[in-house]
Structure 1
């Protein structure tokens, strides 16, 4: 593994289209808002949420810093900072096709 990779990169690469990853850290109010906002859509689409505390991984902490939350649908970045729910719904729908 190179210095720019994290074990998390391998997990993300193996994610299925209905796996949603939220990169955040404790105490991040934007992260909590994003998690609450997407929860109904996760239920609607039967998507699984995997929450990752970037502070537990030096590579992720350096990569994302204060640019959180970052949300991936499958292996594709879907949102950063704030979630556009209409766009997120489209991304989840497209991921299921």
Structure 2
């Protein structure tokens, strides 16, 4: 990865998921603090993603690599993003 390239954060969620709500809050807070954009995608809209990740939702990807699931740890996410 190019040193100055911003990290890409992507969160897989589903509707009516309390863990997804908590994960959304963590990712939003960390991304805001670190001036990063992030995206959210629902597995409800993609049967292939639902089949692959359905038991792990929410799932966090950093630069396309799965880094966390179920409960997104804020301190761990901050470490991952700092250790670019």
TM range (shorter): 0.7 to 0.9
- Using structure 1 for the length normalisation, give the TM-score: 0.74
In structure 2, list runs of 5 or more residues that go unmatched: none
Is 1:84–2:68 an aligned residue pair?
no
Is the contact between residue 19 and residue 49 of structure 1 (CA under 8 Å) also seen in structure 2? Answer: yes
In the aligned structure 2, how far is the partner of 1:88 from the partner of 1:78?
8
Is the contact between residue 41 and residue 89 of structure 1 (CA under 8 Å) also seen in structure 2? Answer: yes
Higher helix share: 1
Over residues 23-80 of structure 1, what are the superposed CA-to-partner deviations in whole Å (9 max), with x where a residue is unaligned?
0111111001011122221011111111111111111010011310000111221210
- Equivalences, count: 80
Root mean square deviation, CA, Å: 1.4
Is 1:52–2:36 an aligned residue pair?
no
